């Protein structure tokens, strides 16, 4: 990425970054562009879209267009885009082009994965060509340059050079200098009560005089550090669960390196079983309740199937948060479901020993380029401002690796949709079968989740063998787990889930409050009787080793 790209607004930054991600086995840009080309060439669609663009562009240039940005599109918030006739025309021509590209993909007669690849390429193209990405095309940036006598441009250039040298050429999303794990993030009191090579198990100090007998064991995803569930006071699911009288244990996964390349699903499932047994021993309870998040929910599902196969009743009830079980549901992530790409990904992680954190993050970043790339490009470079200091973004920047063996298995699940097939994979020596999970389950999805679409999460309710409850949060992938109580919070509940998720949604009703409240009621009703809260953490067999948040959370990529 050349320094001159700071004001050029061409496609070089996007293409360089995406190609770099492809080199790490993450994004197949060529397949996306090919799909976009197929969409354009099919049955006169290019002619129709081009004609539509021409008409709208002509209306815009003549001052007769009524095209306006979508609600929430902050790129054109400056009043100059409305008041100045030249800028207004540029904006509307760009919006006409973006609409033509969207229509081209939407109307294409393509298999859904190819359509998502085309949509991915079109999204990069249209977001990269936005006039607001350039200095001359961004009136707010011009005003700021004049107000600061050019100081904003000097600061922006320094930010750009620093990112080029130290952040892979990508604009930083967060100023994390004052957001520190153990000081103002992940600060709920507790202690590590079990440490293995793979994980630390944290037990938290109860905050109520009485607690439910059955402890809660939370299984976070292996591809993230656990503390998005304990961000800060008032925004911590751990803190909230404690306030509901639950005894809370959470796994903190170790950040794997090359020497841990062989860690696979058995490794992580075994660690979950260890965590469950440790929580049972410390609490004195025969069984526990669990909550698995995202990929952690997948791992937890394999453990529940294993326990069922071995006749164990260690888990009384289980919750799944934004956990995608059926990978055959149309979604943006399907853009990466191509044999060529997956083979490249396999070779890369196998040779490297891990899927490195930066490559993994590139996938999610370029799926939302306006929000996660160009927004910060404008803020950091054109406006010369620091990125925001926001706890979720600081956590997101605290990257982790994925061991090669587990990565290979996740790719296999993704490509062949193994989780919906009884016996499609084996864990801890037992064939996996979702229908063997007979206890009550709680499933939550996010309405605007672009990584694990709620319809795919909903499928879990049809695959498990016991009674299942589904709840829909009006949030995205990370915002769903991080949904603290607030006056604006709401969620949707509905009837007993049937086969059709859209039919369930049509009958669902809006409930005030976060889904956390609904989940807490569901969980506490299955967590046993109330008893006096323990005065100390751990036990004689598992004494506290170090205060929360432990040591593994500080390990870097």
SS3 category, 270: helix
SS3 category, 132: helix
Distances (CA, A) of 241 to 191, 204, 208, 223, 237: 16, 10, 11, 23, 6
Q: Which residues contact 191 (CB under 8 A, 6 or more apart)?
A: 202, 203, 205, 537, 538, 544, 545, 546, 547, 548
**Residue 538 DSSP code:** S
DSSP secondary structure letters along 444-466: EEETT-SSS-HHHHHTHHHHSSS
Whether 306 and 512 have beta carbons less than 8 Å apart is answered as no
User: Strands (DSSP E) along 189-342, which ranges?
Assistant: 190-195, 199-204, 210-212, 216-219, 248-253, 288-293, 315-321
> Which tokens is 175 given?
């100023």
Q: HSE-up of 394 (CA within 13 Å, CB side)? A: 18
Q: Please name which of 481, 297, 451 lies closest in space to residue 372, comparing C-alpha atoms.
A: 451
Distances (CA, A) of 158 to 103, 133, 333: 39, 17, 34
Whether 246 and 524 have beta carbons less than 8 Å apart is answered as yes
User: Strands (DSSP E) along 72-189, which ranges?
Assistant: none
Q: Which residues contact 444 (CB under 8 A, 6 or more apart)?
A: 319, 320, 321, 322, 457, 470, 471, 472, 473, 480, 515, 519
Number of Cβ within 10 Å of residue 162's Cβ equals 12
18 Rama sector, left if φ>0, alpha if ψ -120 to 50, beta otherwise? alpha
User: Is 457 a residue of the active site?
Assistant: no
**Catalytic member of 27, 125, 294, 463:** 294
Active site residues: 294
């Amino acid at each position: 990425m050349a320094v001159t790209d700071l004001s050029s607004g061409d496609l070089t930054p996007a293409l360089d970054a995406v190609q770099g991600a492809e080199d790490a086995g993450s994004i197949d840009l060529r397949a996306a562009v090919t799909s976009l080309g197929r969409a354009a060439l099919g049955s006169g669609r290019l002619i129709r879209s081009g004609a539509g663009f021409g008409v709208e562009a002509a209306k815009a240039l003549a001052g007769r267009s009524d095209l306006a940005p979508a609600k929430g599109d902050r790129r054109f918030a400056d009043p100059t885009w409305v008041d100045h006739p030249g800028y207004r025309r540029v904006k509307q021509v760009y919006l006409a082009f973006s609409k033509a590209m969207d229509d081209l993909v939407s109307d294409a007669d393509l298999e859904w994965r190819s359509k998502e690849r085309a949509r991915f390429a079109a999204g990069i193209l249209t977001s990269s060509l936005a006039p607001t990405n350039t200095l001359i095309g961004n009136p707010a940036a011009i005003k700021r340059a004049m107000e600061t006598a050019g100081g904003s441009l000097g600061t922006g250039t320094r930010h750009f050079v620093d990112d080029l040298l130290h952040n892979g050429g990508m604009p930083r999303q967060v100023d994390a200098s004052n957001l520190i794990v153990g000081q103002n993030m992940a600060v709920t009191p507790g202690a590590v009560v079990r440490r293995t090579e793979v994980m630390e198990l944290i037990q938290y100090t109860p905050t109520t005089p009485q607690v439910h007998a059955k402890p809660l064991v939370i299984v976070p995803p292996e591809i993230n550090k656990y503390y998005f569930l304990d961000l800060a006071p008032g925004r911590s699911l751990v803190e909230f669960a404690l306030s509901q009288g639950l005894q809370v244990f959470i796994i903190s996964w170790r950040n794997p390196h090359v020497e841990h390349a062989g860690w696979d699903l058995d490794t992580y499932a075994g660690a979950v079983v260890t965590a469950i047994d440790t929580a049972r021993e410390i609490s004195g309870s025969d069984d526990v309740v669990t909550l698995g998040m995202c990929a952690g929910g997948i791992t937890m599902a394999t453990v529940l199937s294993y326990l069922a196969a071995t006749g164990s009743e260690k888990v009384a009830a289980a919750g799944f948060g934004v956990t995608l079980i059926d990978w055959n549901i149309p979604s943006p992530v399907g853009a990466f479901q191509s044999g060529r790409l997956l083979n490249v990904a396999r070779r890369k992680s196998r040779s490297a020993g891990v899927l490195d954190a930066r490559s993994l993050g590139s996938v999610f970043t370029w799926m939302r380029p306006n929000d996660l790339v160009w927004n910060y490009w404008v803020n950091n470079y054109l406006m010369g401002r620091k990125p925001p200091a926001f706890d979720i973004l600081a956590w997101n920047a605290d990257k982790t690796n994925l061991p090669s063996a587990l990565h290979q298995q996740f790719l296999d699940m993704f490509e062949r949709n193994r989780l919906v097939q009884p016996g499609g994979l084996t864990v801890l020596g037992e064939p996996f079968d979702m229908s063997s999970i007979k206890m009550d389950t709680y499933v939550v999805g996010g309405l605007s989740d672009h990584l694990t679409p709620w319809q795919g999460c909903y499928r879990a309710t049809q695959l498990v063998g016991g009674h299942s409850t589904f709840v829909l949060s009006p949030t995205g992938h990370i915002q769903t787990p991080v949904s603290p109580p607030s006056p604006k919070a709401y969620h949707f509940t509905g009837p007993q889930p049937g086969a059709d998720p859209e039919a369930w949604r049509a009958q669902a009703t809006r409930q005030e409050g976060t889904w956390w409240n609904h989940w807490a009621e569901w969980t506490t009703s299955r967590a046993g009787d109330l008893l006096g809260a323990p005065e100390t953490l751990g036990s004689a067999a598992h004494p506290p080793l170090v205060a929360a948040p432990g040591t593994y959370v500080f390990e870097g990529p």
